Amino acid sequence: MKDMKENKEFIYYPIIVYTLNRYEHFRRLVESLQKNTDADKTELVIGLDYPPSEKYREGFEKIRDYLPTISGFKKVTIFTSEKNLGPYKNEMRLINYVKELGYDATIGTEDDNEFSPNFIQYMNWALNRYREDKSIYAICGFNKLDTSGVKGNVFKLNKIFAGWGVGQWFDRREKVAPYRDLYYQKEILDNMPFYIIFSKKIYKANAILGMLYGGWPYGDTIPMFLPDEERWCVFPTISKVRNWGQDDSGMHGGSVTRFEEYSTMPIDQSPIFEGDNHDDIFSPIMEKRFNAVYKKSFSSYVKSVFKYLVYKMTGKVLVAKYSSKWLHIRLESLKLPNEQ
């Protein structure tokens, strides 16, 4: 196949999905993509990981048996495993496969998203339109901000990244490749001086602590280490994604409140996406709204400072868990790869 970087014609990019055992979520995702305009022009690439323990076996087997029945796409490519890879390695084998085909980008998703019927059109339009604009880090399908008054049907921000259904060029992924190394993140954290508690860098320190505790380089966190001018993301004014993963079935937990909010969130129901042609999609309105919604509270600042100081003194992460009656506080070790 001709190198896609040299091919200026319109490209229909593959969609990669990595999964393990969440059968109901995965089936909902596939069925929503099957209803998409241009699904028949799209290769669906699926990575089914092997269960790390028996509690994942039932869901794994349901997905395994469902995979051969999937149709409606240009092609369905399936990767399986004989041992557990973990989400990062599972995702990377799919990315490497797409690279080997000659593409310069891919559309990626976890298995707990439901998509608008024009999600594929939106993603391919944006990946093609902004391919040469190196300031654009990613094309995001999810958006929960109020976009009334915004010109057109897309906008860009450099303050946030939403990984629930995202299109990204491989050269942009390489920009943050060092930050996917948790040992490198730990080195950054250890070299941060105490006086960062008086600056906004304390939030970066807290973000790194979160990744070190989780043992996973969070895709929605690492873009914050890029310069402002290199981390713009394109968003739709009407979300193309509804997330069902806040039911505590995945790696990142969830809550009843968050599940109700995201699983009932309205998404675009139009089968067709017609991209904007205006050149400047930055909206000061959206920057103000983002700042208002995600403004850091004084309590979040105090928590960040306290957790940072505890780490500096003990080398461990302060974890607080709330129950109906008690606040449980404990220190836990970092979860670096060789300790998992």
**Domain, as residue range, for 328:** 182-216+296-340
Query: 181 near 287, Cβ under 8 Å?
Result: no
Q: Is residue 22 part of a domain?
A: yes
Check whether residue 320 and residue 337 sit in a common domain: yes
Report the run of H or E that residue 78 belongs to, with start and end. strand 75-79
Domain count, the chain: 2
CA angle 115, 116, 120 (to 5 degrees): 80
Check whether residue 269 and residue 188 sit in a common domain: no
Q: Is residue 285 part of a domain?
A: yes
Helix then strand count (H, E) for the chain reads: 10, 12
Q: Is residue 4 part of a domain?
A: no
Per-residue pLDDT of the chain (340 residues; tens, 9 = 90+): 333 444 568 999 999 999 999 999 999 999 999 999 999 999 999 999 999 999 999 999 999 999 999 999 999 999 999 999 998 899 999 999 999 999 999 999 999 999 999 999 999 999 999 999 999 999 999 999 999 999 899 999 999 999 999 999 999 999 999 998 999 999 999 999 999 999 999 999 999 998 888 887 888 888 988 999 999 999 999 999 999 988 777 665 556 788 888 889 999 999 999 987 778 899 999 999 999 998 888 999 999 999 999 999 999 988 876 655 566 778 888 878 764 4
Check whether residue 42 and residue 147 sit in a common domain: yes
Q: Is residue 222 part of a domain?
A: no
Beta bridge partners of 48: 19
pLDDT for 275 equals: 87
Check whether residue 279 and residue 162 sit in a common domain: yes
Close Cβ partners of 269 (under 8 Å, ≥ 6 residues apart): 116, 117
How far apart are the C-alpha atoms of 243 and 257, rounded to whole Å? 13
Check whether residue 116 and residue 256 sit in a common domain: yes
Check whether residue 289 and residue 302 sit in a common domain: no
Check whether residue 252 and residue 203 sit in a common domain: no
How far apart are the C-alpha atoms of 162 and 234, rounded to whole Å? 10
How far apart are the C-alpha atoms of 284 and 287, rounded to whole Å? 5
**CATH at 59:** 3.90.550.10
Check whether residue 290 and residue 256 sit in a common domain: yes
